[in-house]
């Protein structure tokens, strides 16, 4: 039987080792996950920075078999005091008894968080990990975001009558950017996002837009070496940082045509994969990404009863 103890900086080398092994296993299951040079050193240094945060380890005799550590807190995340364990390297365990190890590690860490008044808890984990998917679900977590990847195979389909081109200023798609804000505020997404007016003029990364009779109809926006989960950022990966098709033109293949252009653009740049992150409650966007990409990371959130 294993024991749960407080996280301590002395446990970092074994914890980093555990994570590096699990990263290699994930890459075996899903080859699009980027290869990482210096992963052990990266995790070691990240865990060292976090070693004073609340955290727990699981021991079987004198062997470390799991760890879980807080990466940060916020006093107002989605309106709640929230504790996070994100980044993928912030928790790991051996495969044997993984469900029980995670149940017990979370019970101890949650106790620490609730003692400090953090009633909202957020984790992320590998989407291919069915044991964790079920355990987090069972512990009362629900999905908020997913991160997905795809190879540079070309998505099929056609969308006649559109002209697609790279744009250097966002002025030509201002109408779409305004519409996009309204879309995110609506049900069932209810995503609170504030408009940044400077954003309209500055192009960070590359934008490709689709026009129908010179009217902007949609766009796709990407950046190289960028990801919500830092570990997935990579020089051979382009992140789709945004995509939008005006509502009356949806479901006619325009989004797919933009995606095809993104694939061609990535090919020209010698990249290997596309990455995207989105809110799982976004029906249109979520379905679109699920049709063309494979989930790689899930982010989940649990809100504990504050009366406790
Ligand atoms: C996501 C989006 C860019 C796709 O553009 P599109 O032109 O509709 O895409 P296509 O016609 O090529 O593909 C249609 C697919 O998108 C998804 N989709 C689009 N509209 C949908 C809707 N109203 N309901 C459910 N799924 C929808 C489905 O997967 C659909 O495939 P299906 O018809 O086989 O079910 C567009 O729906 C959009 O702008 N949505 C709002 C903004 C958004 O969610 N952006 C992504 C942010 S992360």
Residues 6+ apart with CB under 8 A from 113: 54, 70, 83, 119, 121
d(CA 237, CA 256): 19
For 142, the 3-state DSSP assignment is: strand
| Amino acid 156: pLDDT | 92
Of 308, 306, 276, residue with least CA distance to 289: 276
CA of 297 to the centre of ligand 1 (A): 21
Which H helix or E strand runs over 185?
helix 174-185
State the span(s) of the chain assigned CATH 3.40.630.30: 3-139, 163-295
Q: What is the mean pLDDT of each run of 10 residues along the chain (308 residues)?
A: 96 98 96 97 98 98 98 96 98 98 98 98 98 98 98 93 92 92 93 68 84 95 96 97 96 96 96 97 97 98 94
C-beta separation of 123 from 86 below 8 A: yes
| Amino acid 263: pLDDT | 97
| Amino acid 282: pLDDT | 97
- What residue owns the CA closest to ligand 1's atom 48? 278
CATH superfamily of 3-139: Gcn5-related N-acetyltransferase (GNAT) (3.40.630.30)
d(CA 180, CA 243): 9
C-beta separation of 191 from 184 below 8 A: yes
CATH superfamily of 163-295: Gcn5-related N-acetyltransferase (GNAT) (3.40.630.30)
C-beta separation of 26 from 126 below 8 A: yes
| Amino acid 195: pLDDT | 67
If you search the block for the tokens 């069972």, which residue do you land on? 138
CA of 189 to the centre of ligand 1 (A): 14
| Amino acid 194: pLDDT | 73
**Residues with Cβ within 6 A of ligand 1?**
183, 243-245, 250-256, 278, 282-285, 287-288, 291
Angle, helix 98-115 to helix 130-138, in steps of 10 degrees:
40
d(CA 151, CA 292): 10
For 237, the 3-state DSSP assignment is: strand
Angle, helix 12-29 to helix 39-50, in steps of 10 degrees:
130
CA of 257 to the centre of ligand 1 (A): 12
CA of 272 to the centre of ligand 1 (A): 24
3-state helix, strand, coil in the chain (%, to 5): 35, 30, 35
d(CA 56, CA 108): 7
Angle at 186 between CA 182 and CA 188, to 5 degrees: 150
Angle at 31 between CA 28 and CA 36, to 5 degrees: 85
Angle, helix 254-268 to helix 283-292, in steps of 10 degrees:
50
């Amino acid at each position: 039987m294993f024991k749960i103890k407080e996280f301590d900086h002395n446990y970092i080398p074994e914890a980093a080792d555990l994570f590096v092994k699990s990263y290699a296993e994930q890459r075996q299951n899903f080859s699009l996950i980027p290869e990482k040079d210096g992963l052990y050193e990266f995790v070691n240094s990240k865990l060292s920075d976090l070693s004073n945060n609340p955290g727990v380890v699981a021991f079987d005799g004198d062997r470390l078999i799991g760890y879980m550590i807080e990466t940060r807190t916020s006093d107002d995340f989605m309106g709640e005091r929230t504790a996070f364990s994100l980044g993928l390297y912030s928790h790991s365990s051996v495969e044997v008894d993984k469900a029980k190890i995670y149940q017990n590690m979370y019970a101890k860490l949650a106790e620490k968080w609730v003692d400090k008044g953090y009633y909202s808890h957020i984790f992320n984990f590998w989407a291919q990990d069915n044991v964790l998917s079920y355990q987090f679900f069972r512990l009362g977590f629900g999905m908020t975001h997913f991160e997905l990847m795809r190879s540079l195979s070309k998505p099929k389909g056609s969308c006649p009558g559109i002209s697609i081109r790279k744009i250097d200023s966002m002025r030509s798609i201002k109408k779409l950017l305004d519409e996009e804000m309204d879309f995110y505020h609506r049900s069932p997404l209810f995503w609170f996002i504030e408009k940044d007016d400077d954003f309209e003029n500055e192009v960070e990364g590359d934008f490709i837009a689709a026009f129908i009779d010179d009217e902007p109809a949609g766009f796709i926006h990407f950046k190289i070496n960028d990801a919500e989960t830092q570990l997935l950022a990579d020089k051979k990966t382009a992140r789709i940082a945004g995509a939008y098709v005006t509502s009356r033109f949806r479901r006619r293949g325009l989004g797919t045509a933009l995606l095809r252009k993104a694939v061609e653009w990535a090919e020209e740049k010698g990249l290997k994969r596309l990455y995207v992150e989105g809110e799982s409650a976004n029906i249109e966007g979520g379905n679109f990404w699920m049709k063309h990409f494979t989930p790689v990371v899930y982010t989940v959130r649990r809100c504990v009863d504050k009366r406790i």
